[in-house]
Chains A and B, each alone.
Chain A
Amino acid sequence: MTIAGLVRAEEFTPPGPGDFELPALFGGVDKPMLQLVLAALLVVGFFWVASRRGELVPGKLQFAGEQAYTFVRNGIARDIIGSRDFMMFVPYLVALFFFILVNNFFGLVPLIQFPSFSRASFAYGLAALTWVLYNGVGIWRHGLFGYLKHQSVPGGVSGPILALIIPLEFISNILVRPFTLALRLFANMFAGHLLLILFTLGGEYLLLTSDVAFYKPVGVVAFLLAIAISFLELLVQFLQAYVFTLLTAMYVSGAIAEEH
């Protein structure tokens, strides 16, 4: 695939999905792959350095690390999963939240400026992890048959209609969930990045390449809008990391819940 979105002298080529196909840097490894590794190193490094001393009266760094950890531990894990079981899942949820958060912020970090999860396959990978986790703990808690019953037989339905509902509930809870989970993260990152490319490339074209004098102020407006959208993206990037972690906790909570 050729690199779309390159502004030629005469015509403006609008950016498209082709702009997300980055060329391999070496041996089949491209930039988003390196970003995943970098994000993992950053998250592990931050929490390692922040917790290394473990002083009773925390310094600034330790305080920041504890605040970050507590936000996920109490704000997501304990509130959703409940105080009996939540500690088991805190390591995964904390790692998941900060890994997604850092990868999303890469969309705005200068020189990186590419949200890793705008590549759908990465989002599907994360959703697969969550899928294995919530189904695994559900089977561990209820047994295989008990878990399938737990997820497929809704409370409050009885009679012959139940036979029609069971396959529907099974598909909705076991098969569709990982896709909606991954799609939400991927689509938000993809759309946000596309919007930013569109406004910056369009602004550049209007300001520098176009011959019509009237277009130049419009190009300035496009650049201003790109900056405004960057702030909106900052919010979306945080929210999507939060939502992904929150839903993971909800699925786990639903899988290990007692009978309804």
Chain B
Amino acid sequence: MSQSGPFTEPPASRSQDPWVAFGRLVAGVGIYGLCGWLLDRWLGTSFLLPVGIVAGAALGLYLVFVSVRER
């Protein structure tokens, strides 16, 4: 796969599924919300779940921005 020539170029329209943004937001909120919830249960606090949800959404958005900038 190291060979590169005119026929091994990636397709001209490197378009992506627009729903990938949705997937990233859901994944961010889900996984960091879950982390916050588990930490809450472990530490006996109640503020880490919302923090996790907001941080997850922010990370998901950041990832969307980065992937758009890359192209």
- Report whether chain A binds chain B: yes
Q: Which residues of A contact B62 (CB under 8 A)?
A: 161, 165
Per-residue interface assignment for chain B, residues 3 to 33, with 1 indicating a CB less than 8 Å from any chain A CB and 0 otherwise: 0000111110101110110111011101110
A141, B1: Cβ atoms closer than 8 Å: yes
Interface residues of B: mostly helix, strand, loop or mixed?
Answer: helix
Output the nearest chain A residue to B56 by Cβ-Cβ distance: A168
Per-residue interface assignment for chain A, residues 25 to 57, with 1 indicating a CB less than 8 Å from any chain B CB and 0 otherwise: 000000000000000000000000000000000
A82, B10: Cβ atoms closer than 8 Å: yes
A180, B23: Cβ atoms closer than 8 Å: yes
A61 CA to B22 CA, complexed, in Å: 42
Q: Which residues of B contact A180 (CB under 8 A)?
A: 19, 22-23
A254 CA to B16 CA, complexed, in Å: 8
Pick from A113-121, A171-179, A200-208 the stretch touching chain B. Answer: A171-179
A257, B24: Cβ atoms closer than 8 Å: no
Q: How far is the CB of A248 from chain B (nearest CB, A)?
A: 10
Tell whether A190 is near chain B: CB-to-CB under 8 Å.
no
B23, A251: Cβ atoms closer than 8 Å: no
Interface residues of A: mostly helix, strand, loop or mixed?
Answer: helix
Pick from A16-24, A66-74, A152-160, A220-228 the stretch touching chain B. Answer: A152-160
A80, B63: Cβ atoms closer than 8 Å: no
Output the nearest chain B residue to A85 by Cβ-Cβ distance: B8
Tell whether A8 is near chain B: CB-to-CB under 8 Å.
no
Which residues in chain B, 13-71, are within 8 Å of chain A measured between CB atoms?
13, 15-17, 19-20, 22-24, 26-28, 30-32, 56, 59-60, 62-63, 66-67, 69-70
> What is the interface of chain B, defined by CB distance below 8 A to chain A?
1, 7-11, 13, 15-17, 19-20, 22-24, 26-28, 30-32, 56, 59-60, 62-63, 66-67, 69-70
What are 8 pairs between A and B in contact, CB < 8 Å? A82-B9, A154-B63, A168-B60, A169-B27, A247-B17, A247-B19, A253-B11, A258-B1
Known: A161-B59, A165-B63, A173-B23. 11 other contacts (CB 8 A): A81-B11, A156-B66, A157-B63, A157-B66, A171-B31, A172-B23, A172-B63, A173-B20, A176-B27, A177-B23, A260-B70
